[in-house]
Structure 1
């Protein structure tokens, strides 16, 4: 596995090693020992799988407040997405900045989104499946969101379409008004 740093401290692109032959291919998506050697002591406790039928579906920007915050390891297993992490750690030098990457079933790249970051993805085609591991269970009372088109964040979404959103995501807060208990260095 190759662990690639991004401009946001803690957000990593993970490129798995692909072993292929005439039968097809094999890869490890997560290996605790490999992650440990990269300095990541993660204890994932749940795998999630989502399906989005329509191109332009946008899920996020989601996060959970501490102490129920989540680290996510995200991959696209069918189709393609534009995956985004936004630093929401107060006092961070990159507070309010975002990083985005295209994750596809073909490139098999993954994005590690640590605690203290909001996460979202937009589907780039119809019939997309996304799978992700989390290290904390879903907590409705700690579930929060930031609006996808917050001008202070200014994410450059790749599709110039009005996204398909959940009713929850349509009502999400601006970053400056969001309920947020993350502080840089306190994770």
Structure 2
């Protein structure tokens, strides 16, 4: 795996290296030792899938509050997404800065999201599936979010939002 800095401290774009031959390819998408060597959280306690029927579906911007903060490794396994993270760590030099990247089946990229970041995405294709690996168990009482279009962050989404949940739409402005 190749780890690329995103410009936000602790967040990485992870590229898996495909070993190809006439059959197709084989690639490692997780290695505890390599994550430890990069100083990233190597815990893996839960995996989840998000399936999205329509292009323009936005999910986010979500996080789990301390003491249940979680790191995530996000990969698009079908279709394509524009994946976004926001640094919400008040003591971080990158506080309130965001990073976005296209994750697609064809580009061999994953996004490592550290604890203390909000995460969300918009689908760039119909029938898109996203695979998450997480370092902490889901805790409903710790689930929080910030508004996807809050001017405090200024996220530049590449396409219009066509579908969003009531919950995601109801998040208020970020005032911290």
Q: TM-score range by the shorter chain?
A: over 0.9
Which residue of structure 1 lines up, in the alignment, with residue 147 of structure 2? 147
| CA distance in 2: counterparts of 1:43 and 1:95, whole angstroms | 24
| CA distance in 1: counterparts of 2:65 and 2:96, whole angstroms | 16
2:79 counterpart of 1:79: yes
Tell me if structure 2 keeps the 8 A contact 1:46–1:134: yes
| CA distance in 2: counterparts of 1:40 and 1:88, whole angstroms | 18
Which residue of structure 1 lines up, in the alignment, with residue 28 of structure 2? 28
| CA distance in 1: counterparts of 2:140 and 2:36, whole angstroms | 30
Which residue of structure 1 lines up, in the alignment, with residue 16 of structure 2? 16
Per-residue CA distance 1:32-86 (angstroms, 9 max, x = gap) = 1222222224111011111000000011000010011110000000010000110
2:167 counterpart of 1:168: yes
| CA distance in 2: counterparts of 1:11 and 1:92, whole angstroms | 12
Q: CA separation of 1:85/1:36 partners in 2, compared to 1, >3 Å: closer, same or farther?
A: same
Per-residue CA distance 1:119-165 (angstroms, 9 max, x = gap) = 00110010000001001111110100111000110100000x23311
Unmatched segments (≥5 aa) in structure 1:
178-187
Which residue of structure 1 lines up, in the alignment, with residue 123 of structure 2? 123
Q: CA separation of 1:39/1:52 partners in 2, compared to 1, >3 Å: closer, same or farther?
A: same
Query: Could you list the runs of 4 or more consecutive aligned residues of structure 1 that deviate by over 3 angstroms after TM superposition?
Result: none
SS in 2 for 1:155: coil
SS in 2 for 1:138: coil
Unmatched segments (≥5 aa) in structure 2:
none
| CA distance in 2: counterparts of 1:41 and 1:89, whole angstroms | 16
SS in 1 for 2:157: coil
| CA distance in 1: counterparts of 2:52 and 2:82, whole angstroms | 13
Tell me if structure 2 keeps the 8 A contact 1:77–1:108: no
| CA distance in 2: counterparts of 1:8 and 1:174, whole angstroms | 22
TM-score by length of 2: 0.97
